[in-house]
Amino acid sequence: MTSEYFNRACIYGAGAIGGWIGARLAAAGCRVSAVARGATLDALQRHGLRLREGGVESAWPVHASADPLDLGVQDLVVVAVKATGLLDVARRIKPLVGPGTVVLSAMNGVPWWFFQGFGGRFAGTVLNAVDATAEIGHAIPGTSVIGCVVHASCTTEPGYAQHHFGNKLIVGEPCGQPSERVMRLAALLQAAGFESSVSEQIQKDVWYKLWGNMTVNPISALTGATTDRILDDDLVRAFVSSVMLEAREIGAHIGIPIAQQPEDRHAVTRKLGAFKTSMLQDLEAGKPLEIDALVTVVKELGALTGVATPFTDALLGLSRLQARMRGLY
């Protein structure tokens, strides 16, 4: 499987999720490389790609470079950067991508390819919040992309990923049509130990995940609270629910209805226990916050569909101001 279809796999963004996926692919027999910089590049070159999972540590050789030209055309490129770093990826990814390369988009929030082959009357729309100049879509067209929704929690130090919980990767073609390449990719991911499935419409899975994390992520960054503390506060939970109801109405207008109530999703989040969101981890590390791909884009979609978003606007204004005051937006 790996040698025939996805022998060469490059991780662009070897942090928490990218490092976890890369180590698993290496264990499955892929020749893994990575584009990295700074301390992460140094660690990868010295020690390989390291992973701690289930109390066991492993290390896998990886060809790491700051320059994609050093790595050459790949069969699979896993883009696992924060949304704030995607424009830089788009400007540098070309040497990795050939006619048959699959670009697996494993990122939080609404992606640049969201309306490629999907969305009815909104199909083909470029969302300013995630691709204001359309440069990303031009450099990484939807035809190269397989979308991926990650349901897992990992943390990272340079060149070292630690997996905590969750093992699900949902993959799918942006156009929603089944394809041989997506089935092969899902089989590879299953062979690598992931709980992998193929979605009939990956945008629905993107939106459902966003429905849960577009609120707790920025609120955790505003307050420093873990998810359990956020949901334990009646007033905060009511505010979260109000934002979610706006997003649910938007989803219904673009062909992604959600039958659940916010409290149903809160119950799912509660089962995960007390944990720091990725946005809170980024804030504490002084990294730029992914506000646009999680919240600004929902405001934009509200305007596009004619859905009023006063609660989303309040969340956006507060979280954006917090990030600006810290130099993280």
Residues assigned a catalytic role: 209
For residues 316 and 247, is the Cβ–Cβ distance under 8 A? Answer: no
For residues 197 and 170, is the Cβ–Cβ distance under 8 A? Answer: yes
Q: Cα(91)–Cα(192) distance, rounded to whole angstroms?
A: 30
For residues 228 and 270, is the Cβ–Cβ distance under 8 A? Answer: yes
CA 174 to centroid of chain Cα atoms:
15
Q: Which two tokens stand for residue 31?
A: 């020749």
Alpha helices in 192-226 (DSSP H): 202-223
Burial class (CB in 10 A: 0-12, 13-18, 19+), 55: exposed
Q: Cα(77)–Cα(20) distance, rounded to whole angstroms?
A: 14
Q: Report the candidate in 292, 217, 220, 307 with the shortest Cα–Cα distance to residue 256.
A: 307
Q: Cα(3)–Cα(150) distance, rounded to whole angstroms?
A: 25
For residues 32 and 11, is the Cβ–Cβ distance under 8 A? Answer: yes
**Mode of pairing for the β-strands spanning 56-60 and 49-53:** antiparallel
Q: Cα(297)–Cα(163) distance, rounded to whole angstroms?
A: 29
* Overall size of the chain counted in residues: 329
Q: Report the candidate in 263, 252, 237, 250 with the shortest Cα–Cα distance to residue 295.
A: 250
Q: Which two tokens stand for residue 83?
A: 């949304």
